[in-house]
């Protein structure tokens, strides 16, 4: 019998790895000086903006500027219940949310009317929603996720009481279909259901966290059928928007066999408010909940959602459109190719999947990791060439790698 690898473990953190408590931020019994507090917040924002050019290792495009929409901070917009449902308060931004969902549905290869979706707090909520939907249809199935899947898969599975089988990845970072076939075959033998297999919930990753690889949804769905019925959730938080416009056309979306898809809003598009979307084939969505005092149907996890996030996403997407998004992705891919060449020129041993914004290289000295905000795992570091990352930053990083001396 195959042994299931243990889920990823979190290393013990030293005291210096924790965020210190700032006594100057303490909220006491008496009101503080609003002017002083405003100055403190604006100084904090200025410091963050100054640091942004060196944030290379974490996805989150930082080229946005919504300052002209400042008056939106003076209104309350609470999207309660389904995006298409009226509600009792009528203080919402659901029309903007519906437009955003429509854009992402088209990006993921579905007609907007064929899927249900809503704006989430980010990719992890989308994974939770996708797995919860899968569990309702396949209550006896286990989750199959690769050893490169996001760690939140295990958190979501634990909350839902689902067992997870970790499937080995191939050298390119994608889930190995042959390994998945073997696991699903073994579990069918162990847990037959009235002559049928227990089914399989496959968590495919579109843009793995460290390596940016794209799992093949079509291939994984086909081999997982060894276990019986199959549900595939595509975690496309990092790579969905990239895969949609990649020349190699990875098999990742609804048209390739996904039952649900989650994508990030702030990673590739950019937003001061973390957000994402989750999309599910409409026929798979659960019955709506609700209450008389809300007067809204609700299939979401959180009930209340940020209308501000919806309006900001709408504004960003209107500025781009599908054509602008395609150009944005192509520019990022070109920058990833440039980074690969430059890192090779300084002996950093770069490697990159086809059509990915993620470029891995040998882990450098700690001061370089800290200065450039690099994401690291083991002996590997990476950068992600989202829109604010340009040639100058890559050249400066390579200069640090070549010199080995602090500036």
Predicted confidence at residue 406, as pLDDT, reads: 73
Tell me the domain boundaries of the chain: 71-319
Predicted confidence at residue 246, as pLDDT, reads: 98
Predicted confidence at residue 376, as pLDDT, reads: 98
Output the furthest CA–CA distance in the chain (Å, rounded): 71
Residue 314: partners with Cβ closer than 8 Å, 6 or more residues away: 96, 97, 99, 100
For domain 71-319, say whether CATH 3.40.640.10 is its number.
yes
Query: Which SS3 state, helix, strand or coil, does residue 36 take?
Result: helix
Residue ranges of the chain with pLDDT lower than 70?
A: 1-16, 189-195, 407
Q: What's the Rg (C-alpha) of the chain?
A: 22
Residue 3: partners with Cβ closer than 8 Å, 6 or more residues away: none
Q: Is residue 129 within 8 Å of 108, Cβ to Cβ?
A: no
Residue 22's φ and ψ, nearest 5 degrees, are: -100, 110
Predicted confidence at residue 291, as pLDDT, reads: 82
What string of H, E and C letters represents the secondary structure of 166-197?
A: EECECCCCCECHHHHHHHHHHHHHHCCECCEC
């Amino acid at each position: 019998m195959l042994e299931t690898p243990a889920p990823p473990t979190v290393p013990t953190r030293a005291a210096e790895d924790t965020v210190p408590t700032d006594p100057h931020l303490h909220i006491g019994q008496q009101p503080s000086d609003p002017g002083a507090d405003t100055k403190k917040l604006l100084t904090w924002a200025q410091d963050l903006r100054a640091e942004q050019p060196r944030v290379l290792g974490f996805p989150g495009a930082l080229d946005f500027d919504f300052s002209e929409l400042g008056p939106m901070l003076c209104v309350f917009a609470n999207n309660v219940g389904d995006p298409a449902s009226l509600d009792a308060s009528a203080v919402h931004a659901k029309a903007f949310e519906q437009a955003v969902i429509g854009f992402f549905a088209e990006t993921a290869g579905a007609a907007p009317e064929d899927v249900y979706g809503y704006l989430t707090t980010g990719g992890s909520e989308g994974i939770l929603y996708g797995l919860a939907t899968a569990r309702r249809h396949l209550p006896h199935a286990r989750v199959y996720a690769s050893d490169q899947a996001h760690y939140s898969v295990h958190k979501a599975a634990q909350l839902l009481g689902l067992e997870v089988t970790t499937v080995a990845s191939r050298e390119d970072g994608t889930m190995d279909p042959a390994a998945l076939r073997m696991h699903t075959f073994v579990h069918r033998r162990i847990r037959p259901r009235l002559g049928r297999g227990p089914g399989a919930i496959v968590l495919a990753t579109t843009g793995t966290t460290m390596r940016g690889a794209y799992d093949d949804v079509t291939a994984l769905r086909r081999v997982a059928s060894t276990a019986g019925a199959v549900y595939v959730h595509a975690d496309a938080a990092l790579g969905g928007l990239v895969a949609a416009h990649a020349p190699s056309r990875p098999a990742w979306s609804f048209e390739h066999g996904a039952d649900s898809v989650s994508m990030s809003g702030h990673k590739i598009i950019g937003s001061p408010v973390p957000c994402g979307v989750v999309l599910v084939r409409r026929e798979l969505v659960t019955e709506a909940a609700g209450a008389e005092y809300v007067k809204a149907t609700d299939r979401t996890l959180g009930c209340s959602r940020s209308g501000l996030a919806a309006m900001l996403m709408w504004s960003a997407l209107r500025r781009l459109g599908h054509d602008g998004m395609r150009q944005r992705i192509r520019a990022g891919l070109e920058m990833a190719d440039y980074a690969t060449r430059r890192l090779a020129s300084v002996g950093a041993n770069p490697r990159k999947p086809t059509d990915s914004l993620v470029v891995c290289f040998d882990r450098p000295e700690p001061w370089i990791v800290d200065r450039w905000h690099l994401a690291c795992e083991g002996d590997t570091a990476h950068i992600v060439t989202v829109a604010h990352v340009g040639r100058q930053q890559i050249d400066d990083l390579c200069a640090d790698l070549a010199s080995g001396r602090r500036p």
